[in-house]
Chain A
Amino acid sequence: MAPLPVNILCGYLGAGKTTLLNRLLEQRQERILVMVNDFGDIAIDVSLISLRSADTIQLSNGCICCTMGGGLFEAFERALRFGNKVDRLMIEASGVAEPRRLASFALAEPDLDCRAVVAVTDPQTLPERLADPRIGKVVESQIRGADAVFLSRADIASRASMRRVARLTAGLNPLASQHRALDGVFMQALAAPHDGRSLLALAPERDHQRLFASRTIALGPAPERGRLAEIIERHRHAVHRLKGYVRCAGIERPLLVQLAGGALSLDPAALPEGMQVNRLVAISPDAKALARLEADLGLAVA
């Protein structure tokens, strides 16, 4: 049996997780098993509910919602018992859950397939949340641990606050893609595998900080595409992960430069708001390899 794909939605209280989840449930054609941290968080759209029992909610589109009140262990065991009756597991994490803890289950368990972790943020309140001494750290870890950041309430938030939050989140997690709508790009991001190792390297965590080094490399204006690719290729074995948006000479649209699993891609992409161009974030277990990459890039394309 193929492992069950898992997505994790995290974000602090009121960030818009449930709204996003409900819209995903409306759109999706597959059978989704939804797992919520506790019953307090279940706010599934009433029009979707067809049956409600003690600890699960059956949705009219065939999806199932269950609680993980009994603890993560039991929740994952129960989810796995659904077997091939479901196509995808969506976890709506509690407002104070760290995605790293949830994702580690899906990464380790052979019967699960960990796909994108999404951090949902409310642009109107995020700066305040991050500054709150009680919960700032959790909110930060949610963004740092995500593959994709969803900025909710794009329709009502002011442009200024959207820009500010886009910048804030890009600063915390330069590797994550940013989204404002449930479009094809977001769906693609949702299906991508979770990038556990490199994201963990960004997080200030004891064991992984020792294992990985990360470095932000500033490029000069308008590097030449072929030359840039050639240099990165030379370092592709030593550098574990690299990502950034670059404006190359003679190319109108910015390029999303990514190195993952030894494969390099440079694709035209829309620049997320607040994202700085010509900065690459690189991660490697070997800090010296990053220094060498920076030196090469600096000499060649500065």
Chain B
Amino acid sequence: MIPTVFSARRIITMDPSRPEATHVMVSSDGRILAVGGPEEMRGRGELRYDERFAEKVLMPGFVEGHAHMMEGSVWRFTYLGHYDRIAPDGRLWKGIGSTNALVERLRDRAGELADGPIIGWGFDPLFVPGDRLSRLDLDRVSTTRPVMVLHSNVHLLTANSVALEMAGYDENTDIPGVVHTEDGALHGELQEMGAMFPVMRRVGASFRSLSGDPEAVWNFARSACRAGVTTSTDLLNELPDDTLADLFAMTGDEGYPLRLVPMLSAMSLPPEAVAVRAKELRARSTDRLRLGGVKIVTDGSIQGFTAQLNAPGFHSGIDNGIWNIAPEALNTLVDELNREGVQMHIHVNGDGASLAAIEALEAALSGHFRPDHRHTLQHCQLADRAQLRRIAALQCCVNLFANHLYYFGDKHYEVTVGPERACRMNPCASALEMGIPLAIHSDAPITPLAPLVTAWCAINRLTDSGRQLGSSERISLDAALNAITLGAAYTLKLDGELGSVEVGKRADFAVLEDDPYVLGPESLREVRVWGTIFGGKPVQAGSF
């Protein structure tokens, strides 16, 4: 049981008492024993030196505070999105820029798969010039096998003639959401879940097939490792016993290099049973499977026009705001969970939803104040400074969706919320100014799992077209790196155990080829990731 000493070009510790180091000593059971220079690596006995990272930079393993296991499963379908993206297996998928490119890629995949349906995901027609993708385009992929393209917003799909026929759709179909062309024929686009359902279930592409089977759980860890992530949430999981048994088994595997933090869906049980189940789960946590948190979903998404917005509502487009839980029911649930000492992560996108959550938390915490509750507002994209002041007064945390600034920023500026609100979306600087504990996230697979990119978004607030959204809400490199390590760990109540390189903490590291401070804040997203050290064991991206 000889401790190992890793040396590095630089170790960024996130510990203010020793912000930098070059050596770290870790025990064989995965704890940090010493941090400092070479002369400070004194053990009680023999030491093993590992020099392989001597030219690399170490940071605390990144913590993704809001992602989904679907990142591991959705890749069984073919990626058709606008942005370049790397799959868990390391394959680079270039962004799709034309209908021809899309057809070609699906044709290639049809060849690779030999038989069965051909399914694409992540397609966004806004980025593809020319006529809208139709049945006829997809008939060029196959006229004998079903072909189905799921759009990136997950509320639309386009199917080929074979797939439409399987669902019994034809030119006489008169069903809301089944689109016809000018001449009355089927177009191929299906809008909203109802119209999509008959095709998806017959093609064998239901959302259930995207839940966490073993391959997905491993893929999730593969994606995480590529991004330097050693701890990630799976922010909505019903956690039935069979899923739980699988998760215990897989995370218990010696080689599984990720601490998973699944959040129990509050909608999966009667309100009075949620707290009981959460506490029961908390007691069963292991070092790699951290249980006990609860997720509550209030509204929809801003880009899908289903968020709850306060007046004056959406800038343009139709307001389709939805509640996934009635405001009164939210009050009851939040009160119950707070009283029982269960930590909540509340999904709130629009400012109407964050207001409802703030009001529910105010009522709950007035009745029963819990020190250090760490209830966290997730996304919280449109909270204004007045709402942030109330969040600060409640001592809640926020986990802001910084990636939206880049990936959806132009759309928010031009279409969804307009210039003023787009420029104060995901207000990282205001949150920090008011002392609100801050994390930032990707919501993978909605946007790519890559905390350094997320940090870059929060620092620079640049959209895809290069527009800067609100320079006053930019944060420093230090603050952004904190938000993807200790900050995110804090929202998960894991900051005592990980998130910084300190003696006694878990030996989880992100291993970087480049130094974030040398490349600088503008280029942070170009920092290359070698992989991770997980519990003291080096894990190279792509090696498993």
Contacts and interface: CB of A to CB of B under 8 A. Distances in A.
Given A54-B240, A109-B197, A206-B318, A40 B327 contact: no
Contacts of A38: 267-268
A69 B200 contact: no
A137 B313 CA distance: 13
Interface in B63-113: none
Interface in A248-266: none
Contact of B206 (A77, A103, A137, A196): A77
B269 A101 contact: no
Contacts of A40: 267, 269-271, 329
Interface stretch (A19-27, A91-99, A223-231, A292-300): A91-99
B184 interface: no
Contact of A96 (B168, B208, B268, B323): B323
B197 A73 contact: yes
Contact of B176 (A95, A135, A200): A200
Contacts of B194: 101-108
Contact of B267 (A69, A110, A207, A208): A69
Contacts of B393: none
B208 A108 contact: no
A69 to B, nearest CB: 4
A77 B265 CA distance: 20
> In this complex, which of B175, B326, B356 has the most chain A Cβ atoms within 10 angstroms of its Cβ?
B326
A196 to B, nearest CB: 6
Contacts of B200: 73
A157 interface: no
Given A38-B267, A39-B270, A196-B176, A108 B198 contact: yes
A104 B352 contact: no
Contacts of B273: 39
A258 to B, nearest CB: 19
B175 A108 contact: yes
A95 B178 contact: no
Interface string B115-157: 0000000000000000000000000000000000000000000
A245 interface: no
Contacts of A94: 325-326
A103 B175 CA distance: 10
A95 B326 contact: yes
Interface in A83-129: 94-96, 98, 100-110
Interface in A59-98: 67, 69-74, 76-77, 80, 94-96, 98
Given A77-B201, A104-B192, A96 B240 contact: no
B367 interface: no
B527 interface: no
Interface string B301-318: 000000010000000001
B182 interface: no
B257 interface: no
A285 B293 CA distance: 51
B270 A197 contact: no
Contacts of B38: none
B128 to A, nearest CB: 21
Interface string B237-279: 0101000000000000000000000000101111101000000
B281 interface: no
A205 interface: yes
Given A13-B328, A39-B268, A107-B175, A101 B206 contact: no
B201 to A, nearest CB: 6
Interface string A268-282: 000000000000000
Given A71-B207, A104-B192, A104-B195, 6 more contacts: A40-B269, A73-B197, A80-B201, A102-B194, A104-B177, A206-B318
16 contacts: A39-B268, A40-B271, A40-B329, A67-B268, A70-B238, A71-B207, A73-B193, A96-B324, A98-B322, A101-B193, A108-B175, A110-B168, A110-B198, A135-B323, A137-B321, A138-B322
8 smallest beta-carbon distances between A and B, as pairs: A104-B194, A96-B323, A105-B194, A110-B168, A69-B268, A206-B318, A39-B270, A95-B326
